[in-house]
């Protein structure tokens, strides 16, 4: 029987508030069994970029990563945010080890092909080096991934943290029974965005298609849900979406996705 592995992705809103982050890291540290944390960068990268006089370049509303803004991403994601999370997890007796996709050759990517837009140093995930990650996990380390990948030739890339979490979950599922947790500011996928308590507790593929068709899943939830079902269709056992209280054992008020 495969061993269980929990992969938790935390986003900007949680990271930006010290108290929320600390609360969440404490809950994460208590998850039993093997686990991996994946984090985004939050607004800190934009803030520091602005102070350094590096403007976030946008084309058609999409963010472009040039060499300078990649440096800022590396400093903030792999430096400031990652190391503070690692140091805090160590304080909660969780043997965290901070990683980018280059560390341990964990996540190989290639530059996103130029179609209408050249996104710059943005990487699309090519493969997960699951054996290396598995070696870390089995040696009782808890990998903490920031949203950076590499091409194996010395180039780092900016990569969406939701995508990294999904690809890690898929890659690790050959060896582990994997549950993917997406932690964000809402209690789950909502029936009505005006009602914070209208959490849809269970969504399977059929219901997902219905929710897509009637427009309940829209905007920012579209790529997130796409990542979830992509993961489920590639051997990930279960995906959960909710706020940090999703990690409390007594709480079941979040969204669980299965095929």
Q: Residues annotated as binding site? A: 41-42, 63, 158
Binding-site residue total for a second copy (CB under 8 A)? 43
CB of 70 to a second copy, least distance (A): 10
State how far Cα 16 lies from the chain centre: 15
Question: By CB under 8 A, what part of segment 65-124 binds a second copy?
Answer: 71, 74-80, 82-84, 86-88, 90-91, 95-100, 102-105
Task: Determine how β-strand 148-150 pairs with β-strand 156-158.
Answer: antiparallel
CB of 149 to a second copy, least distance (A): 10
**Among the residue ranges 9-17, 131-139, 170-178, 216-224, the one whose residues contact a second copy (CB under 8 A):** 131-139
CB of 35 to a second copy, least distance (A): 15
Question: For residue 44, which of 20, 89, 13 has the smallest C-alpha distance?
Answer: 13
Interface with a second copy includes 212 (CB under 8 A)? no
Contacts of 114 (CB under 8 A, 6+ apart): none
Strand partners, 165: none
**Among the residue ranges 44-52, 56-64, 163-171, 235-243, the one whose residues contact a second copy (CB under 8 A):** 44-52
Residue 32 neighbours by CB distance under 10 Å: 8
List residues near a second copy by CB under 8 A: 48, 51-53, 71, 74-80, 82-84, 86-88, 90-91, 95-100, 102-105, 132, 135-136, 139-141, 148, 150, 152-156
């Amino acid at each position: 029987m495969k061993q269980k592995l929990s992969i938790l992705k935390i986003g900007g809103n949680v990271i930006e508030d010290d108290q929320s982050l600390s609360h969440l890291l404490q809950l994460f540290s208590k998850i039993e069994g093997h686990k991996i944390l994946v984090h985004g960068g939050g607004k800190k990268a934009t803030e520091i970029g602005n102070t350094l006089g590096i403007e976030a370049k946008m084309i058609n509303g999409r963010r472009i990563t040039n060499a300078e803004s990649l440096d800022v991403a590396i400093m903030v994601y792999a430096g400031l945010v990652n190391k503070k999370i690692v140091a805090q997890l160590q304080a909660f007796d969780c043997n965290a080890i901070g990683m980018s996709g280059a560390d341990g050759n964990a996540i190989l990517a290639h530059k996103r092909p130029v179609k209408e837009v050249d996104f710059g140093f943005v990487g699309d995930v090519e493969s997960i080096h699951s054996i290396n990650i598995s070696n870390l996990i089995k040696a009782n380390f808890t990998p903490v991934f920031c949203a950076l990948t590499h091409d194996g030739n010395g180039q780092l890339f900016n990569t969406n943290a939701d995508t990294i979490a999904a690809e890690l979950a898929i890659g690790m599922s050959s060896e582990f029974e994997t549950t993917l947790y997406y932690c964000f500011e809402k209690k789950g996928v909502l029936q009505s965005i005006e009602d914070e308590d209208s959490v849809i507790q269970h969504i399977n593929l059929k219901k997902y298609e219905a929710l897509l068709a009637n427009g309940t899943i829209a905007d920012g939830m579209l790529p997130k849900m796409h990542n979830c079902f992509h993961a489920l269709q590639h051997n990930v056992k279960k995906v959960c979406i909710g706020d940090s209280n999703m990690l409390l054992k007594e709480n079941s008020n979040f969204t669980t996705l299965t095929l």
